[in-house]
Every structure is written in C-alpha cells, then in structure tokens.
C-alpha cells in the first residue's frame, strides 16, 4: 500500500487507515481486524479518548502490542466525559490536554503518540493555549505531530494560523464535497487532509441501494436524489467502493482515508477495493453527476 506524508511532519501514513471507533470491545475479535489491516499494508490507526469512554484506546493498545514500531498511531483529545457519563463537555485547555495525553498513553500501552488531534473546536476556544500544549508535548517527546479534527472552516483556519499542524481531519466523500473549497488553504499552511466518512455510511459500497432504502437522506441529498445519483453513477462503474476511494485519493492534499471496520471481512473488502484500478475518465464523468456543495455555516472569508 502506498503512503503519503502528513503535512511536513516526516510521518508517512498508509493511504487507507483503520478508523478504530467501530472495533469490537472483545480483544480477540478486535485483534483479528487489526491483524488483517496490518497484513494488507495498513500502518495508520486512528482512535480517540472519547470512544467507549477510553476503552477503545485500551482495545487498540492491546491489539498493537508488539507491533508499535511499524505503526503510525493517532488519537484525539478535547471531549470530557461528565461524571455521570451521560454525555460530555468540551475542554481544550492546556491542563486538560496535558493530563489526558498521559492517560491515553497508558491505555494505548505506548510512550508516544504519532498524531495527537484536537477533537473538535469552537470560535470561543483559546486555541493559542491548546497549541502551546501540543508544542510542549512535542518537545517532551510524548507526541510527534498534531492536528485537528473539525468540519468548521473558521475553527480550522484559526488553528492553522496559530501553529504548525500536520493534519486536518474532515468528513469528505463523493456525497459530501464541502471540504474541497478549503483543500488549497489547508495545504498552503503545510498541512494535509485526513478524511473520514468517505464511504458515506455504506452508501458508497455494494450495499448502496439497501442503505438508501433504510435512510431518509444524506447531507444535501434527499432520498430521491440519492437514488437518482447512485443510479447514474452505476452506469459508469460496477465498483462503487473503489470509485469512492479513488475519488478522495485523487486529491494531492489528502494524505489518508480513515475507514472504519467492525469485522475482518469489512476491512479486507475496503482494501481490495482500494487496489482496484479506476480510470481518470470514470472519475471525471462521475464528478459531473455529483452535487458540489459548500459549507453554509462556520464560514471564513478568503483573501
């Protein structure tokens, strides 16, 4: 599997990464998925301290034990579980980030995190404080690079202006092209885009029509428009998953696609699709079918 650099960090991620949020809580089952991912060339694994109240990091740490030197490990911080565990609040303070990184390191059974990401953000945040915390953690050797996971362009822009971030994680797929407007801006700050949701909750897989039947809409697509659009795409390809992955990876600003998997079969299927060849002509033809939406909220003014 090919690799791409995360920004200017010197860290290279496999073009397909494993999004660990959907991993089973059973260590044995999770191990099979992680091992399958590694066997097929995946080196980039993404989790967060929010998932399963930290237990997802425990599962990931267990599954990667003995394999850490070959892995680019990413996690996230900023969402703070309430004491009653009924929900979470937002905390991007230096003290919270500094405290949480140590807890994540313990759960992940490692002494450093390759990519530490702010898991959201608002315009009210003191991003300078968060950046200072990340920079201090880099100097201590506890993290190697940092970034942000957010779909709010104004927050992303503020974060990029304040630091030397390596990545911005955004939801991006053929059915959600809103981030495209900001790709050049992100790249101009020396950062890369990492995508999630690139298979659009299964709407861009072999199960597309079943998923449409079970859904009401997706983003700006009504159920009717989804059916119409997927039907048109189907006239250009029988490999919807391969097309969806190739569509995202055609952009040089994208370093990796983070794909979730809850079974060995699911991650293997995604990797098989990644390796299938998709023509430039098919990509061009399909692009003309798709909506080209832009973020309506959280705007920034360019120039």
**CB atoms < 10 A from the CB of 164, how many?**
17
Greatest CA separation for the chain: 54
Q: What angle do CA 27, 30, 36 make, to 5 degrees?
A: 135
Residue positions annotated with a catalytic role: 51
How many angstroms separate the Cα of 20 from the Cα of each of 51, 79, 191? 9, 17, 23
State the alpha helices, DSSP H only, in the chain: 27-39, 55-63, 94-108, 127-140, 153-162, 183-188, 208-214, 223-234, 240-249, 264-275, 280-287
The partner residues of 19 in beta bridges, in order of sequence, read: 46, 260
Radius of gyration of the chain (CA): 19
In sequence order, which residues have a C-beta less than 8 Å from that of residue 37 and are 6 or more positions away?
18, 45, 261, 267, 271
Rounded distance, CA 178 to CA 182, Å? 8
Query: Do 203 and 259 meet the contact criterion of CB atoms below 8 Å apart?
Result: no
DSSP code at position 111: S
The partner residues of 14 in beta bridges, in order of sequence, read: 3
Query: Do 204 and 174 meet the contact criterion of CB atoms below 8 Å apart?
Result: yes
Q: Are strands 192-196 and 254-260 parallel, antiparallel or unpaired?
A: parallel
Tokens encoding 42: 């995946």
Helix (H) or strand (E) holding 217: strand 217-218
Backbone angles phi, psi at 109, to 5 degrees: 55, 45
Rounded distance, CA 79 to CA 96, Å? 10
């Amino acid at each position: 599997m090919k690799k791409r650099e995360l920004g200017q960090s010197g860290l290279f991620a496999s073009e397909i990464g494993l999004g660990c949020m959907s991993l089973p809580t059973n260590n044995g089952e999770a191990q099979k998925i992680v091992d399958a991912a590694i066997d097929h060339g995946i080196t980039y694994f993404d989790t967060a301290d929010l998932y399963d109240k930290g237990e997802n990091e425990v599962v990931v740490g267990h599954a990667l034990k003995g394999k850490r030197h070959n892995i680019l490990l990413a996690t996230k911080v900023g969402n703070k579980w309430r004491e009653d565990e009924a929900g979470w609040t937002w905390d991007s303070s230096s003290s919270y980030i500094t405290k949480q990184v140590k807890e994540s390191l313990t759960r992940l059974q490692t002494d450093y995190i390759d990519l530490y990401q702010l898991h959201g953000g608002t315009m009210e945040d003191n991003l300078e404080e968060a950046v200072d915390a990340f920079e201090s953690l880099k100097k201590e050797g506890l993290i190697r690079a940092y970034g942000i996971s957010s779909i709010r362009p104004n927050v992303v822009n503020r974060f990029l202006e304040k630091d030397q971030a390596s990545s911005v994680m955004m939801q991006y797929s053929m059915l959600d092209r809103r981030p495209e407007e900001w790709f050049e801006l992100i790249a101009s700050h020396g950062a890369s885009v990492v995508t999630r949701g690139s298979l659009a909750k299964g709407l861009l897989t072999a199960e597309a029509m079943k998923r449409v039947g079970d859904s009401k809409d997706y983003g700006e697509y009504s159920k009717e428009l989804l059916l119409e659009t997927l039907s048109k795409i189907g006239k250009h390809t029988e490999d919807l998953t391969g097309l969806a992955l190739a569509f995202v990876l055609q952009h040089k600003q994208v370093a990796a696609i983070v794909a979730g998997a809850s079974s060995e079969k699911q991650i293997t299927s995604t990797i098989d699709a990644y390796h299938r060849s998709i023509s430039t002509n098919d990509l061009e033809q399909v692009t003309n079918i798709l909506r080209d939406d832009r973020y309506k909220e959280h705007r920034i003014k360019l120039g």
